[in-house]
Amino acid sequence: MSKLDSFTSFYRLANSLVDDVADSTPVPVGTAPTGGGSVASARLTEIEFKLERLSLITHSLWELLKERHGYTDEELNDWINLTDLKDGRLDGRYKANTPPLNCPKCGRVVGRTQARCIYCGGVASPTQPFDRVG
């Protein structure tokens, strides 16, 4: 498998995980757990699994880059800090500073983390690799 094929496979898997989260029914904030198996609890378990899976993929990709291309942890930390600072704050988080998308069906604003328009259900078309992630 070529490097491009490996990256393409990773990209498709990461995108499918993001789509799974974006397409799922949101659980209202503050929903109280009921009994031993509430919907909120099941969603939390599902999201935790997906986060751990995405973490596994990220770590695997980083190990691949170190082994095959010789990048170092120091270089990664430098890039993480540079990326972190793109929003003006070194706070260990990244918030993309990009304008929202417009729904292709009704034209209303759709957040970049939204897979569908909340007004008409139109499917937002991501234009950047990390649209829908945030």
Rounded distance, CA 16 to CA 54, Å?
A: 11
User: Tokens standing for 7?
Assistant: 């990256």
Rounded distance, CA 115 to CA 21, Å?
A: 9
Minimal distance in Å, beta carbon 120 to Zn ion? 3
Q: 3-state class of 36 per DSSP?
A: coil
Query: Which string of x and - marks every residue 61-100 that binds Zn ion (by CB under 5 A)?
Result: ----------------------------------------
Rounded distance, CA 95 to CA 64, Å?
A: 26
Q: Does residue 106 touch Zn ion according to CB under 5 A?
A: yes
Residue 14 or 131: the one with the smaller Cβ distance to Zn ion is 131
The site that binds Zn ion (CB under 5 A) totals a number of residues, namely 7
30-49 positions binding Zn ion, by CB under 5 A: none
Residue 76 or 106: the one with the smaller Cβ distance to Zn ion is 106
Rounded distance, CA 24 to CA 22, Å?
A: 6
Range in contact with Zn ion (rule: CB under 5 A) among 10-18, 66-74, 83-91, 113-121 = 113-121
